[in-house]
Amino acid sequence: MLGAVDLSGLTDSYQSNALDFAIMAARLIESNLAKEYFKSRNNVIEATKTMFLGWKTEGLLAFDRRGRLVKANNQAHTTLKILGADLVLTPQCRLPALDLEMPDAPAHTPSWLLEQLRLPIELRGQRVGTLVVLSAHHK
């Protein structure tokens, strides 16, 4: 949960349209969160275009600032299997260990990730995520 809309008050001040207001406020908040989510994904995609073209033989995983998977190449699937990683590459995939917004939060780093190269993804001078370069040779 990120927040709450509080419409509490005295019985005398009750407004019949309060529920409509709360629903509208919630929808606006959801809309803004969705815009930010897709903007962060697009930033990662834009910033990693050349990276994905340059690394041909290694598995690549691109994560946004919150550690959510944005993009993976075909080699990533194969390399994750070789590493024995239990990571399912879907849009819902998230690695808390790569969450840049919560650097002090206790995040368990999966053992397969510890030995992999992690590079910052930057766009216009801003860090927008993390690129994980997978190599089965480290195991």
Cα(33)–Cα(37) distance, rounded to whole angstroms? 6
111-119: Cβ within 8 A, 24+ apart: 112/80, 112/83, 112/84, 112/85, 112/87, 112/139, 113/85, 115/139, 119/51
In a domain, 85, yes or no: yes
In this predicted structure, the answer to whether residue 139 has a pLDDT above a threshold of 50 is no
In a domain, 102, yes or no: yes
In a domain, 4, yes or no: no
- And the tokens for 72? 């993976």
- Please state the domain count of the chain: 1
Residue 64 pairs with which residues in a beta bridge? 129
Q: What is the structure's pLDDT at 105?
A: 64
In a domain, 132, yes or no: yes
The pTM for the full model equals: 0.78
In a domain, 1, yes or no: no
Render pLDDT for 45-88 as a digit per residue (tens, 0 to 9).
Answer: 999 998 888 887 889 999 999 999 999 998 998 899 888 888 88
Render pLDDT for 109-123 as a digit per residue (tens, 0 to 9).
Answer: 888 888 899 999 999
- And the tokens for 119? 């590079």
In a domain, 2, yes or no: no
Range of the domain at 68: 11-138
In a domain, 111, yes or no: yes
